[in-house]
Structure 1
Amino acid sequence: MSDETKSCPSTQRPASTDAANAVGPLEEDEYPPFLTVLITVAAVMFTSFLVALDRTIIATAIPVITDHFNSLGDVGWYASAYLLTMSAFQLFMGRVYTFYNPKWVYISCVGIFELGSLICGAAPTSTALIIGRAIAGLGSAGIFSGAIIIIVYLVPLSKRPAWTGMAGAVFAVASVAGPLLGGVFTDKVSWRWCFYINLPIGGATVVVLVFVLNLPKKEKAKVHLQQQVHQMDPIGTCVFVPAIVCLLLALQWGGVTYHWSDARIIVLLILSGILFLGFMWIQHWRQENATIPPRILKTRSVAAGVTYAFFSGSGMMSMVYFLPIWFQAIKGASAVHSGIMNLPAILAMTLAAMMAGFLTRKIGYFTPWMYVSSLLTPIGAGLISTFSTTTAHPAWIGYQILWGFGLGLGMQQPSVGAQVSLAKKDVPTGASMMFFAQTLGGSIFVSVANNIFDNKLAQGLRTIPGINPDVISNVGATDLRDVVPSQNLHSVLVVYNGALRNAFYVCTAVSATTIFGSLAMEWKNLKKVEAEQKAAAAKAKIESEQSRKPSSTGTVEAQPHQQHSPPQPPPAAAEEKKIEEV
């Protein structure tokens, strides 16, 4: 028990009651039947697939979109508008899930995401497309974490890893397959179908959830609207959102639109740092009413999970971004074909994520897979960083499999750690923290790797006579062979490959850093924790029934008071004691 709890006895509650409240329904027959769980999870997985897909699907469609709107200057906003709102509101959505029914919060998020997708698909101008991307990002902020939260209500703790493993597989497949599907839609139909595809799938998900999903209502006292707003931490949100916006804008523009020494970038970074410090102070000041209550972040498994998710997301998104570029530039693959060449990583990730989930369910421990992931992922990334212009398909297939398998093993373990270590009412906040860390890490290190790549590429191209570095940088990987003279092509490819290897070094380094999160994660057995929670809930139920047991006069007996009375001897024993005293 913390010092704060000791100093405020009026806020203390019996430990057994806390345990019961922490885990919600505990008996096996209180959870929905398997068919209901299967239908519901399938629905939320489809929506999660769309959210992850939207992060990368636009990559191969951007050239066509810029030609359509004649908007080359808006290229950066097509991706960053979605990322900005998704990152900025993820923690806020975790707070909303804490206080309101997850079913309706999730459906609302899907509705916002669908509205944004509709605006994007029907956008008459580049500005409308950017606005639609921002709205879709706002809705997506609560979708993937909401899927995990819904699974918490549907499945017992010991069985959750198998389901969350599937969620991780869906996220991995969508993130890697985005450019492939974007290329197919752009080439075969229209770039607008990169967004229209979200509408029927999202609509079907809403219908399924409305009629199939039935979550227990949150038991809470009626509070006024003003108090509800106070619980949402509006002050913290108003400081956190601009902090994220300033940081991501600096990362998007730095080294691309403006030099890192430009006053705009420096001001954005300084503002971001000041606002983040202010947000941290607000969280300490507001305590339980904070967006991230400090006691949650102080939980060892949560802090370890956030660290792991940050660096895991950093390595994953950097590799997802640069590996297709290697296939397109060095191997001469089209955008669609480069996506097909990524299939070994996709399949390995999917298999590993599901395998880790089922093995965790069998043995009860989830931490070992984080250790294995922290070992295999950097080895796979390191092998990929050895690619040359002559690397054959057995090597790039095998290295992708090793990297993808390692990444998939550990992808969902941080969220499992949050579920095991936190009370049920705190799981939404914990899950949102994990996905925010993953998103933020990817945003930061994709920018870092991209700047290293650009600098190395420019330096190398300057050494080749007759080659303009600006032309090569702006033409794109797929059109490289159209602008480079045949006598210079080999030299340009060698330089390009060397620059990409430096980007892969970044992936290797951040993937290796996940070991700190793995080492810090607690070793908890899901089966043992679930048994303890059931015992605590049963004890709380018995105590509650005894405290409400009516007396012969029809009034409720003061059972808690009687529990503290010393045991009375039977009458015969008392009489014998009196005789002995005489």
Structure 2
Amino acid sequence: MADQPSNSASVVLNMSATKLHLIIAGLWLSLFVSAMDTTIITTGLIKISSEFQALDQAAWLVTAYLLTYNSFLIITAKSSDIWGLKATILSFSAFFLVFSMACSAAQTMTQLIVFRALQGIGGSALYSLVFVAIVKLVDPSKIAFYSGVVSSVFALANLLGPVLGGVITDRTNWRWIFWMNGPIVGTAIALLLYAMPGLSNGKSSKERFRDFDVVGGALSVSWPIPLLFGLQEAGVHYEWDSAIIIGTMVTGVVLLAVFGLYETWATYRTKLDALFPVRLLENPTTVATLISMFLLGMPFYTMFIQLPQRFQSVNFTTAERAGILLLPVTLMTPVGAVVAGVMDRWIAAEYVLILATSTISIGIGLLSSLPVDAHISNATYAYEVVTGFGLGLASPPYFIFLYTSIHERDASVGTGSLNMVRTLGGAVAVAICTALHHSLLQTGLADFLSPEQISSVKESNGLVSSLPAESRLRLGRVFGSSYKKQLQVVLGLSLLNCVVAIIIAGIRKRAGTFGKRPVRTEENEFMKTAEKGGGGGGEQVVGAKGSSG
């Protein structure tokens, strides 16, 4: 049911400060659970999957959530245009809550993976709709402030997620990871139900549904599933050259091509509101920015997913301890983002991104050089600080590039696309690392473990404590060598991103947008499209304003 018609501008102007603050609190809590559920489970993966005797499927608890979280970002944002913002955000909050409880009640690994995928749809909606709500409900002059308040969620979620997941896993029942969402989401629903106004442009739901790109939406969630399945299972349950792996990966690529062709037709040949307007790809800056963000997602998610598993498998720490050891990364990421915001006043965003990608590469390279024995080197903390700072430093420039190279009408879909490619990059990286890990384990463990023991090690960590001391140390070294190889692969992709960052700087310099920033130009507009002044011929930018970089 759509929200009751009302004048959006009048609603925003007449909203009391108390109601606005209640709405912001509700949005903050919604985004908090959405963001935290991407990381809170990472430090509990080994214990959860071992309980189900399915250690080789552990990464799917993260990948399943990321897959749907990534695939539904744009669809859920657009759904608010059909059924109304309030009804949509409340419905998806309830959806997220239901499948959080389903995860807590799962009796098999398959059930848990399926429920995590469905929970990811709700998390994706909360992520996208929170920022839609800020743009629609907050006075333009205060959007920056309230966006910053809500965005503080990510720093806290990244900080608390792994630690809280480890504490819960070690000291209570891992199911509390999902049970705790109940009171948080319930509070958010109550706040939004009471305080959030109904917004409408006066059209009926039927009229608004006519322009919705239903086919594009279906295609957008169909191609990642077979592609990620192939990457995840290759070398684990199926050989790389098996019919199942080749078939699923080819299917994923074909569906991606079909999605691209359909969106091209919808953009240029119909009056549909295309899910992904292909005109965005006419701008070289936008294309390069999306590619770079995809590559950034790879080290970002590798840190928060693979590193805690390394601490437990190589250094034999508890899940709780693994979360604490991850603190240098989680603490430095928001610090890097703040520093990037300060640097933007004096240094062009292009230079900031080049510095950030270089810093990430140095950090990943250092982490890949860690010893493979059980002792935790003190250098680990310094290497994490470098990597975390670089990851935070990299985030702000992408939005500056986006908003100074696209039309105002594409700002929301552009933002959703950036979030989508970063998450997809992370999912691909995790899948590649997992496939590489299982391949290397099969080779490395064969020297001192029987086939039955190797199978047990892949399924559960329960065997480790029963092994002789020497075999246990050798096992840790094999795991350490595997994680070293994984980080070396991620290092190569991070170095590639350095090259892409330099290319972005060159493209923007030729286009005359180097060093420009998005700005508000009028009180009643969030952003305003302006003609670019300088070479590149007719490219339009959003609120471009020159700066000396």
Identify the residue that residue 544 of structure 2 maps to in structure 1: none
Offset at residue 456 of structure 1 (A): 3.1
CA deviation vs aligned residue, 1:519-566 (integer Å, no higher than 9, x gap): 426557787632378799999xxxxxxxxxxxxxxxxxxxxxxxxxxx
Q: Secondary structure at 2:482's aligned position in 1?
A: helix
Distance change >3 Å, CA 169–CA 500, structure 1 → 2: farther
Corresponding residue to 1:401 among 360, 382, 385: 385
Distance change >3 Å, CA 161–CA 131, structure 1 → 2: same
Identify the residue that residue 521 of structure 2 maps to in structure 1: 531
Corresponding residue to 1:371 among 354, 373, 376: 354
CA deviation vs aligned residue, 1:249-302 (integer Å, no higher than 9, x gap): 222222222222221111111111111111111011111532101123334453
Distance change >3 Å, CA 508–CA 538, structure 1 → 2: closer
Identify the residue that residue 441 of structure 1 maps to in structure 2: 425
Identify the residue that residue 292 of structure 1 maps to in structure 2: 276
Contact 2:165–2:323 (8 Å) recurs in 1: no
Contact 1:84–1:245 (8 Å) recurs in 2: yes
CA deviation vs aligned residue, 1:465-507 (integer Å, no higher than 9, x gap): x334763574269657524432344444433322211111122
Q: Give the gaps of 5 or more residues in structure 1.
A: 1-23, 540-582
Contact 1:308–1:516 (8 Å) recurs in 2: no
CA distance in 1, matches of 2:526, 2:131: 24
Distance change >3 Å, CA 43–CA 380, structure 1 → 2: farther
Specify the code of the residue in structure 2 equivalent to 1:429.
V
Distance change >3 Å, CA 70–CA 399, structure 1 → 2: closer
CA deviation vs aligned residue, 1:172-196 (integer Å, no higher than 9, x gap): 6535654432232233332221111
Distance change >3 Å, CA 195–CA 314, structure 1 → 2: same
Which runs of structure 2 are paired with 1:85-100 in the superposition (5 Å)?
85-97=68-80
**Which structure's residues are more often helix, by fraction?**
1
- TM-score of the aligned structures, taking structure 1 as reference length: 0.75
Distance change >3 Å, CA 34–CA 313, structure 1 → 2: farther
Distance change >3 Å, CA 517–CA 163, structure 1 → 2: farther
Contact 1:121–1:195 (8 Å) recurs in 2: yes
Specify the code of the residue in structure 2 equivalent to 1:254.
A
Which runs of structure 2 are paired with 1:170-209 in the superposition (5 Å)?
170-171=153-154, 174-175=157-158, 177-209=160-192
Offset at residue 315 of structure 1 (A): 1.2
Identify the residue that residue 307 of structure 2 maps to in structure 1: 323
Contact 1:389–1:497 (8 Å) recurs in 2: yes
CA distance in 2, matches of 1:305, 1:181: 34
Corresponding residue to 2:211 among 231, 237, 262: 231
Specify the code of the residue in structure 2 equivalent to 1:506.
V
Contact 1:316–1:507 (8 Å) recurs in 2: no
CA distance in 2, matches of 1:166, 1:367: 26
Matched, 1:410 2:390: no
Specify the code of the residue in structure 2 equivalent to 1:237.
G
Identify which range, 520-529 or 375-384, moves more after superposition.
520-529
Corresponding residue to 2:222 among 242, 247, 250: 242
CA distance in 1, matches of 2:235, 2:128: 32
Identify the residue that residue 477 of structure 2 maps to in structure 1: 494
Offset at residue 64 of structure 1 (A): 5.3
Q: Secondary structure at 1:411's aligned position in 2?
A: helix
Distance change >3 Å, CA 96–CA 429, structure 1 → 2: farther
CA distance in 1, matches of 2:492, 2:54: 36
Identify the residue that residue 286 of structure 2 maps to in structure 1: 302
- TM-score of the aligned structures, taking structure 2 as reference length: 0.80
Specify the code of the residue in structure 2 equivalent to 1:257.
H
Specify the code of the residue in structure 1 equivalent to 2:217.
T
CA distance in 1, matches of 2:170, 2:136: 42
Contact 1:40–1:208 (8 Å) recurs in 2: yes
Specify the code of the residue in structure 2 equivalent to 1:258.
Y
Aligned length: 508
Distance change >3 Å, CA 159–CA 473, structure 1 → 2: farther
CA deviation vs aligned residue, 1:13-61 (integer Å, no higher than 9, x gap): xxxxxxxxxxx97xxx969788766654443333223223223433444
RMSD: 3.8
Identify which range, 262-271 or 530-539, moves more after superposition.
530-539
Offset at residue 199 of structure 1 (A): 1.5
Offset at residue 367 of structure 1 (A): 4.4
CA distance in 1, matches of 2:322, 2:79: 40
Contact 1:247–1:268 (8 Å) recurs in 2: yes
Specify the code of the residue in structure 1 equivalent to 2:391.
L
Offset at residue 441 of structure 1 (A): 0.7
Contact 1:420–1:524 (8 Å) recurs in 2: no
Offset at residue 450 of structure 1 (A): 2.2
Offset at residue 392 of structure 1 (A): 5.4
Matched, 1:426 2:410: yes
Q: Give the gaps of 5 or more residues in structure 2.
A: 1-7, 530-549
Specify the code of the residue in structure 1 equivalent to 2:232.
Q
Distance change >3 Å, CA 352–CA 79, structure 1 → 2: closer
Distance change >3 Å, CA 156–CA 530, structure 1 → 2: farther
Contact 1:301–1:417 (8 Å) recurs in 2: yes
Contact 2:13–2:139 (8 Å) recurs in 1: no
Matched, 1:272 2:224: no
Contact 1:282–1:290 (8 Å) recurs in 2: no
Identify the residue that residue 260 of structure 1 maps to in structure 2: 240
Q: Secondary structure at 1:260's aligned position in 2?
A: coil
Distance change >3 Å, CA 158–CA 92, structure 1 → 2: same
CA distance in 2, matches of 1:498, 1:454: 12
Distance change >3 Å, CA 119–CA 487, structure 1 → 2: closer
Contact 1:55–1:82 (8 Å) recurs in 2: yes
